[in-house]
Amino acid sequence: MANIPSPRPDVAKAPPLIVRRRREIRAVLLGTVAAFALAGMNVGGLSQARAATSEVSQLVSPVSFADVVDHVRGAVVSVKVKTTETADSEEEFDMPHIAPGDPLERFFKHFGEEGSHHLKPHVTQAQGSGFIISADGYVVTNNHVVENATDVSVTLDDGKTVPAKIVGTDKKTDLALLKITQGGPYQNVDFAKATPRVGEWVIAVGNPFGLGGTVTAGIVSARGRDIGAGPYDDFLQIDAPVNRGNSGGPTFNTQGQVVGVNTAIFSPSGGSVGIGFAIPADTAQSVIASLKDKGVVARGWIGVQIQPVTAEIADSLGLKSNKGALVAEAQPNSPASSAGIKSGDVILGIDGDRIDGPRDLARRVAALGPGKKADLIYWHDGSEKTTSVKLGSLPDDKEARATPSTSQDKNELSSLGLTLAPASSVQGAGSHGVVVSDMDPDGVGAQKGLQVGDVILEAGGRAVNQPADIKAALAEAKKDNRKAVLLRVQGAEGTHFVAIAVTPAS
């Protein structure tokens, strides 16, 4: 008799459908064994056994996506764009001076080079993928596919090429909306309403390397990936093979609904290594709706510069968890400052929901949109508070820089590997704070990310204007047996906090 292994310990945790299928397979296998035993290997028994074996084969046969692909492939298109590029003068290479009569003179004249190098504007072509979301021909793709395009067309699954126009683009999420200018109707697909779970099957359809209508399959490998592509990164990671040209194409679930828009790959070689990233359907839907309505995306804004809460920062502020977003600076006259949010506060949640970190807060605020009201939960002076804020509209990014110069009024802080000077003595550094004028690249300050030119504005919650003020803050922390001192620093990238560990007094 065949040895049927007992169920594994994790079977009870599996979804009911999987458990039921395993039980069915086991029952059929037992039936097959019983058929052989009871029939005495006669002809009838063999027939019964073959039938049971066929049923087992059907139960364990590989998953087929053919029906799903037949249903969706007509809505997937190849996006082709033309751009006109003109080389900048900096890109032009210097030609050597060629004397009249030099044998090389004829060579360069043959190629249109008459003593100098002139590059004319030239047309380049690129292609990616996209998918139709409405019968009247709206097409979703990536911003980087159509960026700077002078002409756009889409090729349908049947090979027909039709012209299209750009309705709107959003660089921050790398999404674009096109409209086919020829009348429809066109086959289209819908976005999924539910976010796929890690481990679920997904199917990518697109135009890799110009090979339109290519289908690949895999699973969702992870969710919530931040790959540094933009301020609102929240990618699905998939292992369905995607390559160059798949950009802008859809990732489907097994019901034929779009769960993501393929936008990036991780690839040292340029080809698929099984790590692809897709913009989640819920993000794409909201962005595409704004592009269709206004041609641009209007995002909410509260006017704070934020950074992650490290374990050291959490300890120095009396927080039990390092979740939340530390406010490095609340911009003057911003919604946050009007609501009472100050530098050093930690935003813990919005509208009753706790946040994980700065990116989570940025995404939620942006999604609410301008003019909406929200309740911020924040940590201030050792206690949790709540305030109401009316969101503004996200302005263009601005960056303030200060260029330090050398100064004779310096002070060594050897414990941190820093040389400091009052900001008032350094041209361009402002009138408040202490400037890092030099540093040991292997010192504690450098390891914490401080750079020459940074201005330390506060130490331990108190304003500093002299190097001695920072020394006093470190000495006080050491006396109070605190683990770290929080420095508020103005750098090239804006204001942020740095937690400097101190050695407690013995």
The catalytic residue positions are 144, 174, 247
What CA–CA distance (Å, rounded) separates 439 from 419?
6
Amino acid at 193: K
Q: In angstroms, what CA-CA distances link 240 with 26, 214, 250, 262, 278?
A: 31, 12, 12, 10, 11
CB atoms < 10 A from the CB of 281, how many? 24
CB atoms < 10 A from the CB of 345, how many? 24
- 185 upstream amide cis, omega within 30 of 0: yes
Question: What 3-state class would DSSP assign to 392?
Answer: strand
**DSSP symbol at 257:** -
Task: Using the structure block, give the residue that is written with the tokens 């998939």.
Answer: 238
Contact 420, 467 (CB under 8 A): yes
**Tokens for 87?**
């080389």
Task: Using the structure block, give the residue that is written with the tokens 């201030």.
Answer: 380
Q: In angstroms, what CA-CA distances link 315 with 359, 415, 485?
A: 22, 21, 10
What CA–CA distance (Å, rounded) separates 435 from 404?
8
Please state the separation of Cα 200 from the chain's center in Å: 21
Q: In angstroms, what CA-CA distances link 488 with 17, 19, 73, 351, 375?
A: 55, 56, 54, 28, 26
